[in-house]
């Protein structure tokens, strides 16, 4: 019997098909670890030659959300999708939002967050702090610290993969979806598609420029795109690789932009997208996560069977700091803004790992069995 996993391609499911290959290639294996992995309710029946997929395919991403605290008392948010365990220790379910007290190892349910989720977002609206969940059935918002949630989007958006907020005008919201980029100018009441100039639809992420709130960057499937007018028009930046999975602009060096790609490792530009080069040293494979320290002096990256890599020269060259042979994929990275030696890594099926010495040593930090897509600080 072949032990390789069966592969699910998100877009093939949209068209009514399932890409099912027991003898999957390395590329197809990497595709199965994309953030768009679907939740499947199925049975696999063993035969002499193959498996058969039965029951129903649900068009929702199976995701969880959880909260953690760091050594300084900050609360961290970690977005999980899929979980190989039936529940989280100390909790009565394995989906939703979980909390972990400082110094504790047990995770407990956070109230009323039994939601499918791809990512978290936070925005200040007057005196109110709002939490957002980018979910498999739309964008959800809480204005009361997560006690209650309201869905803001309709059928035209379905899955929401990431969310970004205008830093000045709180009513302007952008979302990235498998069906393109959408914008709301009325606090989520109405949404308009904003894809003029884009050749592909599938968008993993949208971010707002560090200096100009009208400038956006979108990680679209075929290239990195930029808009100078709040999403009305987009131009491809010719990053030199298709399959853009994540985009990071350095706050300390706004002309430096890095992208993680599906098969070409890290690509970096030092002139806002005019010229691109590949990061030296880091393998040309799928990179799902890039995160920089608050001063921009250290940048970390990880992906499919890569371990963790660090760059000390704005992404020009890279050094592996953790081989992580037991980790099949790294989905998320986080650097404590108050302590650059404190790192958190979200993995595929192994939960969260933590280092307090800049990546020299690592320990498992909970949620073992979970797939962690995002780690960030709760305001």
Task: Give Rg (Cα) of the chain.
Answer: 20
Q: Which residues contact 233 (CB under 8 A, 6 or more apart)?
A: 196, 197, 227
Q: What number of other Cβ atoms are within 10 A of residue 108's Cβ?
A: 16
Mean pLDDT throughout 364-371? 79
Tokens standing for 262? Answer: 């599906």
**Domains of the chain, residue spans:** 10-57, 63-377
Please state which CATH number belongs to domain 63-377. Answer: 2.130.10.10
Residue 26 clears pLDDT 80, i.e. is over it: no
Per-residue DSSP letter, 13: H
- Prediction pTM value: 0.78
Residue 12 clears pLDDT 80, i.e. is over it: no
CB of 121 closer than 8 Å to CB of 164: yes
Reported as a single tens digit per residue, the pLDDT across 306-357 is 999 999 999 999 999 999 999 999 999 999 888 889 998 988 888 889 999 9
How high is the pLDDT of residue 52?
A: 23
Reported as a single tens digit per residue, the pLDDT across 100-127 is 655 565 666 666 556 666 777 888 777 8
Tokens standing for 122? Answer: 């936070």
Residue 46 clears pLDDT 50, i.e. is over it: no
List, in sequence order, the alpha helices (H) in 53-117.
none
| Pick from 110, 187, 119: nearest CA to 153 | 187
Distance CA 256, CA 297 (A): 12
Distance CA 225, CA 176 (A): 12
Distance CA 295, CA 340 (A): 9
């Amino acid at each position: 019997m072949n032990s390789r996993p069966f592969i699910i391609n998100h877009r093939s499911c949209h068209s009514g098909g399932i890409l099912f290959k027991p003898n999957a290639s390395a590329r197809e294996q990497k595709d199965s670890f994309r953030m768009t992995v679907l939740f499947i309710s199925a049975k696999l029946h063993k035969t002499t030659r193959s498996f058969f997929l039965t029951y129903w395919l649900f068009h929702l991403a199976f995701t969880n959300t959880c909260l953690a605290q760091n050594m300084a008392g900050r609360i961290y948010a970690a977005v999980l999708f899929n979980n190989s365990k039936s529940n989280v220790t100390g909790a009565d379910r394995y989906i939703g939002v979980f909390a972990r007290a400082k110094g504790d190892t047990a995770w407990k349910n956070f109230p009323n967050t039994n939601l499918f989720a791809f990512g978290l977002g936070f925005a200040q609206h007057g005196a109110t702090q709002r939490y957002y969940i980018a979910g498999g059935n739309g964008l959800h918002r809480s204005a009361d610290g997560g006690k209650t949630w309201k869905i803001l989007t309709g059928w035209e958006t379905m899955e929401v993969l990431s969310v970004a907020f205008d830093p000045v005008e709180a009513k302007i919201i952008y979302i990235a979806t498998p069906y393109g980029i959408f914008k709301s100018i009325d606090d989520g009441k109405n949404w308009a598609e904003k894809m003029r100039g884009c050749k592909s639809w599938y968008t993993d992420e949208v971010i707002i420029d560090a200096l100009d709130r009208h400038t956006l960057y979108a990680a679209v499937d075929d290239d990195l795109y930029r808009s100078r007018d709040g999403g009305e028009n987009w131009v491809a930046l010719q990053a030199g690789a298709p399959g853009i999975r994540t985009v990071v602009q350095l706050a300390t060096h706004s002309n430096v932009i890095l992208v993680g790609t599906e098969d070409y490792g890290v690509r970096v530009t030092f002139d806002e997208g005019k010229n691109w080069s590949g990061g030296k040293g880091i393998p040309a494979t799928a990179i799902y996560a890039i995160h920089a320290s608050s001063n921009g002096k250290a940048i970390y990256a990880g992906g499919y069977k890569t371990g963790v890599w660090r760059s000390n020269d704005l992404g020009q060259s890279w050094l592996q700091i953790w081989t992580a042979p037991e980790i099949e994929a790294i989905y998320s990275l986080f650097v404590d803004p108050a302590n650059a030696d404190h790192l958190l890594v979200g993995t595929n099926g192994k939960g969260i790992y933590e280092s307090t010495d800049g990546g020299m040593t690592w320990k498992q930090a909970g949620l073992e069995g979970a797939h962690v897509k995002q780690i960030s600080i709760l305001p």
